Amino acid sequence: MIQGKKVSRKDAGMVNAVLFDLANTLLNFRELQLKPMFIEGSRDSYRHLQTLGLPLPDFKRYSMAHLRPFQRSLLWSHICRRDFNCMDLMVRVLDRLNIQLPKQEYQNLAWIWYGPAARRSHVDRGTCEVLSNLRRQGIKLAIISNTLAPACCLDRHLQEEGLLEYFPIRLYSSATRYRKPHREIFRMALHELRVQPDQAIFVGDLLKTDIRGAQRAGMRAIWKPAANQPRTKSRSAGVHHVIRNIADLQHLLPEMGVCKWAAA
């Protein structure tokens, strides 16, 4: 289940922090198909606005008013290699449609749009136990995520899964100028944690953005590939540490010289 190369604490240095990717690392998503999810979120949000008694255009106009700027923003994101915040886009579209909401209602509506993704997710069994154990040993924890979703939705999702309390530091690319594999987003997280790169380990599912990005930033990395990804890819990518689920960290981290695993 675990592929590891034993590293002594002397060779590795003292590790003070473990950082995690979000999607398909801490939160596992079933296959996310953009078009069906967009339609589902569009219908859910439209129905919610109807319950508020607001004057609305017909559903087709409402849906297309959101789809076209989203597609343009997505193209811009690919070209510029920067992520955008879907909630900001949603607010601008609603304004053009003359739909005005109280500030707190915008966050609620964004959560409804995010709902199709949340309903397609699950957390590895034993994740909270692993995070609790790391926290008890004084290991700092953080999240770095490439995402278009607003922070309010991701934080709410983490809260509902019982994970938010473990991560006082959360960097979402939708709220920063950078996204992985850019070194700066890793450096920003390390600065907030007050640890040096060689004192930190990053856990993620994507070789190019998570693993190579963290390595280029001076961190060690642990690869958590998707179920359909062959582990043989890790050799050619220079990956020494591979897990299949978060619970495997309780075996791998002591082998890497990071910590002793305390009884819960």
* 199-222 confidence digits (pLDDT tens): 999 999 999 999 999 999 999 999
In this structure, the answer to whether residues 134 and 194 fall within a common structural domain is yes
Confidence of residue 30 (pLDDT cuts 50, 70, 90): confident
Q: Is the pLDDT of residue 4 over 50?
A: no
Query: Where is 223: in which H helix or E strand?
Result: strand 220-223
For the chain, the average pLDDT equals 90
Kindly state whether residue 180 falls inside one of the protein's structural domains. Answer: yes
In this structure, the answer to whether residues 111 and 192 fall within a common structural domain is no
> How many domains is the chain built from?
2
Kindly state whether residue 90 falls inside one of the protein's structural domains. Answer: yes
Distance CA 21, CA 247 (A): 15
Q: Judge whether 249 and 222 are in contact, CB under 8 Å.
A: yes
In this structure, the answer to whether residues 19 and 138 fall within a common structural domain is yes
Alpha helix segments (H runs only) across 179-243:
183-193, 212-216, 233-236
pLDDT of residue 212: 95
Tell which of 71, 100, 118 closes a domain.
118
In this structure, the answer to whether residues 133 and 238 fall within a common structural domain is yes
Q: Judge whether 176 and 82 are in contact, CB under 8 Å.
A: no
Task: Give the CATH number for residue 235.
Answer: 3.40.50.1000
Could you identify the residue written with the tokens 């979000």? Answer: 22
Q: What is the pTM of this model?
A: 0.89
pLDDT of residue 235: 53
Please say whether the dihedral angle defined by the alpha carbons of residues 126, 132, 134 and 140, taken in this order, is positive or negative.
positive
Tell which of 91, 118, 145 closes a domain.
118
Kindly state whether residue 4 falls inside one of the protein's structural domains. Answer: no
Distances (CA, A) of 124 to 24, 65, 174, 244: 10, 37, 25, 10
Residue 42, classed as helix, strand or coil, is helix
pLDDT tens by residue, 108-139: 999 999 999 999 999 999 999 999 999 999 99
Query: Where is 61: in which H helix or E strand?
Result: helix 59-80
Kindly state whether residue 263 falls inside one of the protein's structural domains. Answer: no
Distances (CA, A) of 145 to 25, 82, 155: 10, 13, 12
pLDDT tens by residue, 147-167: 999 999 999 999 999 999 999
69's CB contacts (< 8 A; 6+ apart) are 89, 92, 93
Tell which of 97, 118, 139 closes a domain.
118
Domain that holds residue 129: 9-30+122-255
Kindly state whether residue 262 falls inside one of the protein's structural domains. Answer: no
- Chain CA centroid to CA 252, Å: 22
- Chain CA centroid to CA 51, Å: 31
pLDDT tens by residue, 231-264: 555 555 568 899 999 999 998 998 887 766 655 5
| Torsion region of 169: left, alpha or beta (phi above 0 gives left; psi -120 to 50 gives alpha) | beta
Kindly state whether residue 187 falls inside one of the protein's structural domains. Answer: yes
In this structure, the answer to whether residues 20 and 135 fall within a common structural domain is yes
DSSP at 199:
G
In this structure, the answer to whether residues 232 and 138 fall within a common structural domain is yes
In this structure, the answer to whether residues 105 and 129 fall within a common structural domain is no
